[in-house]
Amino acid sequence: MNAQSQTPASLVHFYDTRTHAIACGESGPDRRSTKHPRQVTCQSCVALFDAPRTHAEDAGAVS
């Protein structure tokens, strides 16, 4: 199933417990999220997993 064929209700976003927000920035009353990466279906959130992290991010620094 590709991202274009998914409805907003079927998308599951990644909830970042450090920032207490959806990783891709999505907001609204009909969004679903999880803190478990294997259940994420939002391609924007998945892309953030694949992005290289900086040392500051790994250390939990707040920018």
The predicted pLDDT at position 9 comes to 61
Instruction: Report the candidate in 3, 53, 8, 7 with the shortest Cα–Cα distance to residue 16.
Output: 53
User: pTM of the entire structure?
Assistant: 0.63
pLDDT at 31: 86
- The residues pairing with 12 across neighbouring beta strands, listed in sequence order, are 32
- Give me the pLDDT at residue 7, please: 61
Give 1's pLDDT tier (boundaries 50, 70, 90).
Answer: very low
- Dihedrals phi, psi of 12, to nearest 5 degrees: -120, 120
pLDDT at 61 over 70: no
Lowest average pLDDT, out of 10-14, 23-27, 51-55, goes to: 51-55
The side-by-side arrangement of strands in the sheet containing 32-34 is 21-22, 12-16, 32-34
The H or E element containing residue 13 is strand 12-16
